[in-house]
Structure 1
């Protein structure tokens, strides 16, 4: 009996735990929002919009739903976003349930789209190339986008590393909180090695979900 109870109380090995984490929660927020992420202007811009929405103090599922509504309304690139009326953007955000911040966010999305059009010709790869491999410079440029801020920049970089290997591995403080809850290494290199061939962006998103779901760590450690 003692041996059986000891087995039940034993924590999964780190590699096993990471595999379970990825299997159960390893979907990126871009995937959830229906963004087919590639290193091309339109999906990169859509990820920027999603990152902006996710950075507010609002549930992630609402931010994802609002992003889908914006894209379904045809606002999939900075030109269309900038040309849309303020009310069109507000209405799309409202349909996604993003009502608490809809008016301010509509303004920020319009101003951000104009900035991206003006400074980068609508192509965020130019922003990346101007940073020339300097992650701090890349973050500074991203934070100039109205509404994005440091949290939004972190979200964008965590997700974009799937197609921008220059910024990989990128986890950030919040993902490391998830690693801490699971008693996993709080070191990006060690986490990547534990994940093997798995996608780093998916692992980062999964660790974020551990922070957002208060029961996630307990469930994973008990499984």
Structure 2
């Protein structure tokens, strides 16, 4: 059982990024970057990733900070409820409205301005992201993990959940060594797959068996 076989099977089985699963076509453009940020906010709470993904799809109609601000609090709540994100719907609606306004005020609604401001400093990026309501260190890690697809200066980015998945599969837990197993654009896919390995108790066994 080779490391390369494990990685190939892992990517085949679980290598869809959470952004892609949410219907986001990732690009270094304001709208998809903002939708990814919303997804990171939704995934920050103690809730199943599938529910966060479902809610992110429902919130796609408010896919820019301006549209999120223009939506009423009740409209945001209803979108979250359609995505079955009912446990935190009211507080999240408030946080999304405040966060969107903060992005408009600080970055004119364009996260590429934040990218330029931090100039490749990952820790500074994480710090700035956590200034947004409801986006703590976990949410900042989720954003960085997924955005490395289009912001290559962040590569390789593997958070603790991804590295825990690597350990379960017997893969390197050093980010640089782990990154050597795939091409750069596949790092976000590998990171997402490793997170799923951490969250899904049976996935590691399935991958090991298939490899």
Smaller-chain TM-score bracket: over 0.9
Q: Which has the larger radius of gyration?
A: 1
Distance 1:165 1:52 in 2: 22
1:136 is aligned, of 117, 123, 127, to 123
Match of residue 5 from structure 1? none
Secondary structure of the 1:194 match is coil
Secondary structure of the 1:195 match is coil
4+ aligned runs moved over 3 Å, structure 1: none
Residue 103 to residue 65, structure 1, CA distance change in 2 (3 Å): same
Match of residue 48 from structure 2? 59
Normalised by the length of structure 1, the TM-score is 0.92
Equivalenced residues, count = 210
Match of residue 127 from structure 1? 114
Q: Which runs of 5+ in 1 are unaligned?
A: 1-11
Matched, 1:105 2:92: yes
Distance 1:194 1:93 in 2: 37
Once the two structures are TM-superposed, the CA of residue 195 in structure 1 deviates from its matched residue by 2.0
Output one character per residue of 1:100-135: Cα deviation in whole Å (capped at 9) or x when no partner. 000000000000000000000000011111112211
Residue 202 to residue 220, structure 1, CA distance change in 2 (3 Å): same
Match of residue 179 from structure 1? 166
Matched, 1:39 2:36: no
Q: What are the within-5 Å matches in structure 2 for residues 1-40 of structure 1?
A: 12-40=1-29
Tell me the C-alpha RMSD between the 2 structures.
0.9
Secondary structure of the 1:19 match is helix
Distance 2:122 2:59 in 1: 29
Say if 1:19 and 1:195, in contact at 8 Å, map to a contact too. no
1:208 is aligned, of 188, 195, 198, to 195
Say if 1:158 and 1:171, in contact at 8 Å, map to a contact too. yes
Secondary structure of the 1:163 match is coil
Once the two structures are TM-superposed, the CA of residue 222 in structure 1 deviates from its matched residue by 1.6
Distance 1:196 1:163 in 2: 14
Once the two structures are TM-superposed, the CA of residue 220 in structure 1 deviates from its matched residue by 1.1
Say if 2:58 and 2:79, in contact at 8 Å, map to a contact too. yes
